[in-house]
Amino acid sequence: AGKSERKPAVRSVDFPVSVVLPAGGTGERTGLQTPKQFCSFLGRPLISYTIQAFERVSWIQCIVVVVARENVDLMTDIVQRFQHRKVRVVPGGSTRHRSICNGVLALGEGEAEEESPAADGPKVVIIHDAVRPFVEEEFLYKIAAAAKEHGAAGAIRPLVSTVIATTSEGYLDHSLERAKYRASEMPQGFTYDVIYQAYQRCTESDFEFGTECLHLALQYCGTNAKLIQGPPTLWKVTYKRDLAAAESIIKETLSQSACIITGGSAHAATLADGLQKAAGALHMELDVIPDLMGENTGYLLKEWNFIQISVNRCSLSEVEDLLKDLEAANRALLHPPVIIWVHLSASDEPSISGTVAEPAAIMDLASAAKLRNVLLYGIQVHQSKDTERWERSVLKVAEITSALIRERSPALVGQLLQA
């Protein structure tokens, strides 16, 4: 998510595009109670990540999410809570095709209430899975453009395993030549006319047992879909292990950079400089700024991680200000930002009053921040005139910072760690 936001905008489309997102799965393959699309990652359900992947694309107009009737209220709550703007929630049917068909019809109906239905309706419909959250704008563009040109288009991937045909007794009959076949993935795109007609003409048996929209377009509209190889990120969250993989991708995306705020102090700038050198080896980019004023207010809108250095002060007032700024920017809506307060004491000896007073203060502040979806941690580091010892401390601050940012553990908020 964060990665895409930093890329330059890709080409736009000059025709109306809308999306149907079937989200009726029951999640039986993960072995979990909650269907995968409603499983939470850093406090937000997977379906909301997928919606966001479409919502941030300027040329996509409407996203119809089709859910089982018993999940309509849940889904409506998710849309409100995460302030999704382009979404309509529609109840699904008893099979995948019936649900997608409901979504396609809803796109038509919605427009029929407007003044000039034909002109306003979507030219192209993209169909995607709720459980493929990492689809990127560039690939959506390719599918939309190819769908407009060819009537239908679909993502494909090379086969990972050999595909074999079995005899009815469970023996090998023959194996397919891998190079001739592909796995059909999502997203797929269709002109509205093709997907609408395909569902008008197909049989009850198609509705009941079919799974492949490209097949319906071919059989009932004579449309050979254009196939486009997609990136591995199109993969579908299917098994329990995929939940861990998805969480790891989300966390990695949020951990690529951090912003160090020095407060203008020379001591803090020296520490920030050391952290920048160490952070390269830890695969994280660090920007150093004196404060979040002027041009630097931009960091509030794009950065997920803040390292606030305080020198010789036990006060958390800078952190309190940062929390207020993040709240004003509505920054914690989609992901939890991380704040690491680094307390740099210039004396070699730990101050006794300091170590006793701070833990309670940062714990209280972190508990309050957590309710606002911000993760606050503390690190205490003592400046040393012994160069070797100082370098060891700086490296330790970098390692702890990197671990806290990558793991984003709610259980460890408010801790004051020693570097």
Q: Based on CB atoms, which residue is closest to Mg ion, 55 or 136?
A: 136
Torsion angle defined by CA atoms of residues 74, 75, 76 and 77, in that order, rounded to the nearest 10 degrees = 50
- Residue 308 to residue 407: CA distance in whole angstroms: 19
Residue 61 or 415: which CB sits closer to a second copy? Answer: 415
163 forms part of the interface with a second copy (CB under 8 A): yes
Task: Report in angstroms how near the CB of residue 13 gets to a second copy at its nearest.
Answer: 21
Of positions 226, 331, 343, 382, contacts a second copy by CB under 8 A: 226
With a CB cutoff of 8 Å and minimum separation 6, the contacts of 284 are: 255, 256, 257, 258, 402, 405
**Residue 195 Cα distances to 4, 47, 100, 188, angstroms:** 29, 23, 10, 11
If binding is defined by CB under 5 A, does position 199 make contact with Mg ion? no
Alpha helix positions (H), 311-351: 317-328
Q: Which amino acid belongs to residue 150? A: H
Q: How far is the CB of 32 from Mg ion (least distance, A)?
A: 20
Q: Residue 400: which of a second copy, Mg ion, none does it interact with, CB under 5 to 8 A by kind?
A: a second copy
Stretch that binds a second copy, among 33-41, 77-85, 89-97, 149-157 (CB under 8 A): 149-157
Query: Which residue is it, tokens 């407060």?
Result: 263
What is the pattern of x (binds a second copy, CB under 8 A) and - over residues 12-51? -----------------x----------------------
Candidates 8, 28, 85, 180: give the one binding a second copy (CB under 8 A). 180
55 binds Mg ion (CB under 5 A): no
Give me 30's structure tokens.
């993960």
Q: Which does 224 bind (CB under 5 to 8 A by kind): Mg ion, a second copy, none?
A: a second copy
Judged by CB under 8 A, the residue of 118, 160, 266, 328 near a second copy is 160
Whether the link from the prior residue into 290 is cis, omega within 30° of 0, is no
Query: How far is residue 181 from each of residues 147, 225, 227, 246, measured CA to CA in Å?
Result: 21, 15, 12, 27
Interaction between residue 370 and a second copy (CB under 8 A): no
Residue 245 or 346 having the CB closest to a second copy: 245
CA dihedral 245, 251, 255, 256 (to 10 degrees): 40
Which lies closer to a second copy via its Cβ, residue 74 or residue 159? Answer: 159
Phi, psi (deg, nearest 5) at residue 152: -155, 150
Least distance to a second copy, CB of residue 123, Å: 21
Q: Which of 38, 41, 134, 377 binds Mg ion (CB under 5 A)?
A: 134
Among 5, 34, 149, 183, binds a second copy (CB under 8 A): 183
If binding is defined by CB under 8 A, does position 175 make contact with a second copy?
yes
Burial class (CB in 10 A: 0-12, 13-18, 19+), 170: exposed
Segment interacting with a second copy (CB under 8 A) among 74-82, 169-177, 291-299, 333-341: 169-177
Return the number of other C-beta atoms located less than 10 Å from residue 76's C-beta. Answer: 14
- Residues engaged in binding Mg ion (CB under 5 A): 4, 134, 136
